[in-house]
Amino acid sequence: MSAEISFLDLVLEASLLVQLVMLSLLTASIVSWAVIFQRIKILNHATVRSKKFEDRFWSGADLASIYQELSARSQTHDGLERLFTAGFKEFARMRQTQATTPEAIVDGSHRAMRVALSREVDELEKNLPFLATVGSISPYVGLFGTVWGIMNAFISLGEVQQATLQMVAPGIAEALIATAMGLFAAIPAVIAYNRFASRVEKLENIYINFMEEFSSILQRQAYAGNSKIGS
């Protein structure tokens, strides 16, 4: 037996089940990192777009002109743009019906924005459950591989009359690699999930605050339009 065993030798000499555990953990880690980079890009994009639209919205521009500008774009809307277009479109549609009360107009616009908010949050939270799953089960999967590897090592020791450290060490080392890989997959996934969940919550609060402020503006316009119609 060689006095020095490399990491690759330990992996290649592990039992088939332990190798499968290592492969599954490596795959989970690679996919997790792909999801992490994807979520970073999407959340950064959502944050920048929200800030940009808020500056445009509170610049004093006419709401109808903002809606026409957004409607003229070929690209899809997201974030605050989606909430605004959904709410204003429903507001304009219901306002054309003179029999509709201001309260009904505002409620209809608010419901439309709530639906858009739900879809937007679902999009922001996409793949986050996967990170949570990897972070929670990877250590246990790695521990399973370790237990199995150590069990096989001790079974092999039972077949010899005199056990030495050189006989025990490789089997235990290859078993512990599974635990290490489980932690390697779990720790980044847990950190990323907590970070992304916090950012999604902040964005959701921004969306909700905008929705309430926009509803107040629409309410004032609905009552103002109703008074003009009544006169």
DSSP-assigned letter for residue 125: T
Residue 222 has pLDDT above 60, yes or no: yes
pLDDT at 172: 76
Segments making up each domain of the chain, as ranges: 7-226
What's the pLDDT score for residue 227?
A: 46
Tell me how far apart the alpha carbons of residues 38 and 35 are, in angstroms, rounded to a whole number.
5
pTM as predicted = 0.81
**Three-point CA angle 193, 194, 195, nearest 5°:** 90
For the ranges 57-71, 153-167, 171-185, 190-204, the lowest mean pLDDT is seen at 153-167
pLDDT in tens, 88-117: 999 988 888 765 788 888 899 999 999 999
Residue 15 CB partners (closer than 8 Å, separation 6+): 148, 149, 152
